[in-house]
Amino acid sequence: MENLRASIASHIRTASTPAEELRIILGELEGRVGKLGFGDSGEPVELLLALDRANALLEELAERGANLSGERGRFETVGQQFRRKGKRFLRSVGGRRELQALRAAQPRTPPAANWWWYIDELLDGEQRTRRSGTLRTIGITVAVLAIISALYIAFLMPDETTRMRYRHEQAAEQALMSDDPAAALISVEEGLTYAPDDEDLLLLRAVALVLLDEAEQAEIAFTEIRELVNDDEKFYSARAQAYMLGNRPELALEDAIRLIEADPTSGLGYFQAGNAYGSMGHFYEAAAAYEKAGELAGLAGEIELEGMARVQLANLMMIMMSPQMDLGDLTPTENEP
């Protein structure tokens, strides 16, 4: 696939005005940023340079008095998506040191206003802010936690094996959400020493193996888990959720489609499809899937699932109605279940 520079250059040659060039670059950026973590997003440095060029064109056209509300909204949306996918971008570059080397290799040091060149520092700052916010809340919650802990110990505390299994399961899930499957695998293996046949831990282990490109071992593990669960709907739904934890919505969507193909009345299948589509930015398909999930769940008397689908649909509609969202660019895909 052609890289970002070749793709943009081939289109820009046909651009007759700066405004047209800007729209071409925005279109390329929307596609490339959307693919971060899911496929070929081009050379990292070319993506940064394209963001530079789009920003420069916005400033140039604004000085001329052009009406840029639509283009500026698209650029801000791309920026928001890029920032959310900052960790994935850093992986594509090769890590913080490689990004620092890219900055140093530029003819001129990128200005601080072009924050995409400093996504590593922004991520570090956000982490420090979260840590600081957590520390500030500790004083407020100590008394409440003390009361809850006392009640828990007196009436609800599970046995040591259950506590340790749960602790390692939570650590594994957090590691998957942080794009660290190696750490997730370590936590799962520790948890399995307490509960060797736990379905949830075994599934997290298999998903971690997928993310570590251990496809053969993962397939063996999935086969064993499927036989252990002996319920395809439960297996595929649980695996779809685990894939979502691991930031692999495209794999979650495959399992959701398997559920729907096996049972076209599966509200759970459509709900999982909605989650996957939404995570990939396919909002029209996500809305349709949530609506179908709520309808099927209502017919089946699955009140909890129906409520969850309605809530997710409402949240999605709020996102789609945001002034910064350019719905004209969110065209439906052809693989809607």
Share of the chain above pLDDT 90, in %: 26
Give start and end residues of each alpha helix (H) in the chain: 4-12, 18-34, 44-63, 69-84, 86-93, 96-104, 119-151, 160-177, 181-192, 199-211, 215-229, 232-245, 249-262, 267-280, 283-300, 303-320
Averaged pLDDT of the chain: 80
CA 45 to chain CA centroid, nearest Å: 22
Report pLDDT for 259: 92
Residue predicted with more confidence, 13 or 164: 164
Q: What is the pLDDT of residues 186-220, one digit of tens each?
A: 999 999 998 888 889 999 999 999 999 998 999 99
Question: Do 221 and 251 form a contact (C-beta atoms < 8 A)?
Answer: no
Report pLDDT for 135: 44
Question: Do 119 and 90 form a contact (C-beta atoms < 8 A)?
Answer: yes
Q: What is the pLDDT of residues 107-138, one digit of tens each?
A: 888 888 888 888 888 877 766 555 544 444 44
pTM for this one?
0.53
Cα 168–Cα 312–Cα 320 angle in degrees, nearest 5: 125
Task: Give the right CATH number for 158-226 from 1.25.40.10, 2.60.40.420, 1.10.274.10, 3.20.20.120.
Answer: 1.25.40.10
Q: Which amino acid is at 112?
A: A
Same CATH fold, 231-337 and 158-226?
yes
Cα 325–Cα 330–Cα 333 angle in degrees, nearest 5: 155
Say whether pLDDT at 256 is over 90: yes
Q: Where are the domains of the chain?
A: 4-121, 158-226, 231-337
Rounded to whole angstroms, the Cα distance separating 328 from 114 reads 27
In the structure, what pLDDT confidence band is assigned to residue 315 with cuts at 50, 70 and 90?
A: confident
Closest CA to 263 of 337, 329, 194: 337
In the structure, what pLDDT confidence band is assigned to residue 9 with cuts at 50, 70 and 90?
A: very low
Question: Do 300 and 265 form a contact (C-beta atoms < 8 A)?
Answer: yes
In the structure, what pLDDT confidence band is assigned to residue 29 with cuts at 50, 70 and 90?
A: confident
Give the domain 231-337 fold: 1.25.40
- List the structure tokens of 141: 């919650």
Say whether pLDDT at 329 is over 50: no
